[in-house]
C-alpha cells in the first residue's frame, strides 16, 4: 500500500512539473538534479551485520564507549583511501529515545559519531542471544547545493563510500565482528 501512495505522489509531482512544458517531458532524474542543485542532497545507508559473535559485538560497543569516555576520537582526522575525502570527528555520544506518547526514556540506544561536515555514523547493537548478535551501522552524509553536479548525482553507495570506509576504520568493526561484508545493505534511492 505504501508503494502505491509513493508512486502516486511521484506521478503527481511529474504531472505538475510537466504542466508547463508539454513538448519536452521532464523526468524524475531531471527533477532530482534540480532539487539537489537547489537544496543539496542527503545520502543514507544502513549496514546490518546479523548473527555475529555476541562477544565481538559487545567488544565493539565497549570500544566505542571507551572512546566516548576518554574523548580519544574527538578532533581526529581520517582520510578515505578510496575517495581522498577528509573526515574530522567532532563528537561521539550515546543516544537515547524519548517516547512522544508516554515520555519514557530509553538510554544507551547506540553510539553516534559526528563529523565536522555534518555527517554521522550510528552503531546499534541488538539481539545478543544464543543466535548471535546483530550490529547495525547507519551512515548519513549531506552535500550542499554548492557541491558539483557529479557529486550530487552519485549513487548512495558512491556518495557514502569514503565515510563508510572511515567508519569501519574508526570502529574496527571488521576486527571485532570477524566479518568483511554486511549481511544486508539498505540504501536510500534518492
Model pLDDT for residues 21-75, shown as the tens digit of each residue: 778 888 888 888 889 999 999 999 999 999 999 999 999 999 999 999 999 999 9
Which pLDDT band, with edges at 50, 70 and 90, does 143 fall under?
very high
pLDDT of residue 27: 83
| pLDDT for residue 129 is more than 80 | no
Which pLDDT band, with edges at 50, 70 and 90, does 165 fall under?
very high
pLDDT of residue 189: 65
pLDDT of residue 162: 97
pLDDT of residue 128: 65
pLDDT of residue 90: 97
Q: Residue 108: which region, alpha, beta or left (left: phi > 0; alpha: psi -120 to 50)?
A: left
| pLDDT for residue 104 is more than 70 | yes
CA distances from 29 to 42, 58, 94, 96, 105 (A): 16, 43, 37, 37, 41
- Global pTM? 0.86
Rounded CA gap, 17 and 160, in Å?
29
Average pLDDT over residues 140-161: 94
| pLDDT for residue 1 is more than 60 | no
Rounded CA gap, 138 and 187, in Å?
10
pLDDT of residue 166: 98
Q: Which residue has the higher pLDDT, 76 or 131?
A: 76
Rounded CA gap, 17 and 120, in Å?
33
pLDDT of residue 190: 62
Average pLDDT over residues 132-142: 95
Asked whether 51 and 36 are in contact (CB, 8 A), the reply is no
Amino acid at each position: 500500500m505504501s508503494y502505491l501512495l509513493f508512486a502516486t505522489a511521484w506521478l503527481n509531482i511529474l504531472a505538475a512539473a510537466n504542466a508547463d512544458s508539454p513538448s519536452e517531458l521532464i523526468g524524475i532524474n531531471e527533477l532530482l538534479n534540480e532539487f539537489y542543485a537547489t537544496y543539496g542532497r542527503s545520502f543514507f545507508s544502513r549496514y546490518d551485520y546479523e548473527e555475529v559473535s555476541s562477544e565481538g559485538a559487545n567488544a565493539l560497543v565497549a570500544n566505542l564507549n571507551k572512546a566516548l569516555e576518554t574523548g580519544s576520537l574527538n578532533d581526529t582526522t581520517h582520510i578515505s583511501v578510496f575517495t581522498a575525502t577528509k573526515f574530522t570527528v567532532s563528537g561521539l555520544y550515546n543516544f537515547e529515545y524519548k517516547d512522544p506518547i508516554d515520555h519514557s526514556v530509553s538510554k544507551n540506544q547506540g553510539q553516534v559519531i559526528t563529523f565536522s561536515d555534518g555527517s554521522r555514523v550510528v552503531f546499534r547493537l541488538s539481539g545478543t542471544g544464543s543466535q548471535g548478535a546483530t550490529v547495525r551501522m547507519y551512515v548519513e552524509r549531506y552535500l550542499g547545493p554548492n557541491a558539483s553536479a557529479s557529486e550530487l548525482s552519485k549513487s548512495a553507495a558512491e556518495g557514502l563510500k569514503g565515510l563508510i570506509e572511515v567508519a569501519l576504520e574508526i570502529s574496527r568493526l571488521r576486527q571485532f565482528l570477524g566479518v568483511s561484508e554486511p549481511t544486508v545493505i539498505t540504501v536510500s534511492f534518492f
